[in-house]
Amino acid sequence: MTKSEPGCDTEFTLPIAVQKRPTGTASLVHIHPPGPGAGRRHTLDGTPLLIGRVEGCDICLNEHAVSRRHACIDLVDGIYSVRDLDSTNGTRVNDQPVGSDPRPLRDGDYLQIGNYVFRFLAGGNVEAEYHEELYRRTFQDALTRLHNRRALNEFLERELIRSQRYNRPVSVILFDLDRFKAVNDSHGHLCGDHVIREVADLLRAVTRGEDICARYGGEEFALVLVEADHFSALAVAERVRTLVNCHAFRFEGVELALTISAGVATTCGDRWATTAGLLHEADERLYAAKREGRNRVVGEPAREDDAGAMSTWVVT
């Protein structure tokens, strides 16, 4: 079975296991807007699924057109149905408004929440598997299942536009494992891959639903924190540094002690801010952390009159 996206010349064949395996479960597939979320499948398990803007929602949509608690999908008399939770901008199915009474969903229905569009796919629909496979290939890192660099760039570009429009902060943290080459040289690349996956799990545990965590390349990782000022981002970076520093990495009977360094950059709606510029700023601070001895977090100058100085967090 070969599929291709509309307007895209690239085709690929789903693995046989995906072609033949029935999903058995209904799901929502993210159709719009394009970016790191596009193609992502949200499985419905029979329990109420809350969609909204605040942390704690099952599907968290970081957009002002989405209400804090916007809509809910639930199983009503054996049929998945959606109801609006008195949202500001309303909920629509196939461009028709939905009220507070449950509206049954049929296979293929389009659900609109703010500027987001999802497609409801009933259990057994192989299209859900196709979208999930496409999502993995396009936006996920194969080793860690974190987002990849492409997903990070698209997400950050979109958040910078929102930052400038609404004058709200966005922070970027770049992490790099210290002396990682020595792990590969001494214990082999399988051990190195195992370490990368464990670090990814530690990062995943501290990532909020509205943020994005990505493998930036090799032993480098990145976090984009939405509506997080510089001090908050420094605190998150320090939390990750501490987690890695205290974690016992084990592989085939070998226990490793590792550390990580981080650089933090923040914009508060600045018109000059670009994706490349903010990542470069975080990268410069990351390498300042390396120069200062590793196992530390470096951020922006502590005061405006501290020419060339940077704030540093480190355990002594």
- What does the pLDDT average to over 155-172? 91
3-state secondary structure of 68: coil
CB neighbours (10 Å) of residue 80? 22
Query: Which three-class secondary structure state does DSSP give residue 311?
Result: coil
Res 64 pLDDT > 60:
yes
pLDDT for residue 176 is more than 90: yes
- Is the pLDDT at 138 greater than 90, yes or no? no
Q: Is the dihedral of CA 175, 179, 184, 190 positive or negative?
A: negative
Domains defined along the chain, listed by start: 2-139 (2.60.200.20), 149-314 (3.30.70.270)
pLDDT at residue 16 in the model: 36
Cis peptide before 33 (omega within 30 of 0): yes
Task: Please report the pLDDT score of residue 126 as a whole number.
Answer: 55
pLDDT digits (tens, 9 = 90+) for 164-175: 888 999 999 999
* Beta strand pairing call for 49-52 and 79-84: unpaired
pLDDT at residue 283 is higher than 90: yes
User: Mean of the pLDDT values across residues 205-220?
Assistant: 93
The answer to whether residue 8 scores a pLDDT higher than 80 is no
Q: Residues 153-174: what's their mean pLDDT?
A: 91
> Strand pairing of 49-52 and 41-43?
unpaired
Please give the pLDDT value at position 289: 97
Looking at per-residue confidence, does 29 or 181 come out higher?
Answer: 181
Percent of the chain residues topping a pLDDT of 90: 58
What integer pLDDT is reported at residue 239 of this predicted model? 97
pLDDT in tens, 76-85: 888 999 999 9
CA distance 280 to 277: 5
Interatomic CA distance for residues 194 and 315, integer angstroms: 26
Q: Is pTM, for the whole model, over 0.75?
A: no
The per-residue pLDDT for 210 is 86
CA distances from 38 to 24, 63, 118 (A): 22, 15, 9
Looking at per-residue pLDDT, the higher value among 9 and 156 belongs to 156
- pLDDT one-digit tens code per residue, 26-63: 889 888 887 777 778 888 988 999 999 988 899 988 88
- Residue 115 confidence (pLDDT) above 60: yes
What pLDDT, on the 0 to 100 scale, is given for residue 77?
A: 86
Question: Which residue would you say has higher pLDDT here, 135 or 4?
Answer: 135
Given a contact cutoff of 8 angstroms between Cβ atoms, the answer to whether 245 and 262 are in contact is no
- How does pLDDT run across 257-281, given as a tens digit for each residue? 999 999 999 999 888 899 999 999 9
pLDDT of residue 124: 62
Question: Which residue's structure tokens are 């952390």?
Answer: 289
Can you give the pLDDT at residue 269? 85
Give CA–CA dist 265/263, Å, rounded.
7
Mean of all residue pLDDT scores within the chain = 85
- Long-range pairs of 207-214 with CB within 8 A, sequence gap ≥ 24: 208/55, 208/60, 209/55, 209/57, 209/60, 210/55, 210/60, 210/62, 212/36, 212/147, 212/151, 212/152, 212/155, 212/156, 213/146, 213/147, 214/141, 214/146, 214/147, 214/148, 214/149, 214/151, 214/152
CA–CA separation, 144 vs 199, rounded Å? 9
Contacts 24+ apart (CB under 8 A), 5-12: 5/134, 12/133, 12/134, 12/137
Above 50 in pLDDT, residue 14?
Answer: no
What amino acid positions are annotated as catalytic residues? Answer: 219
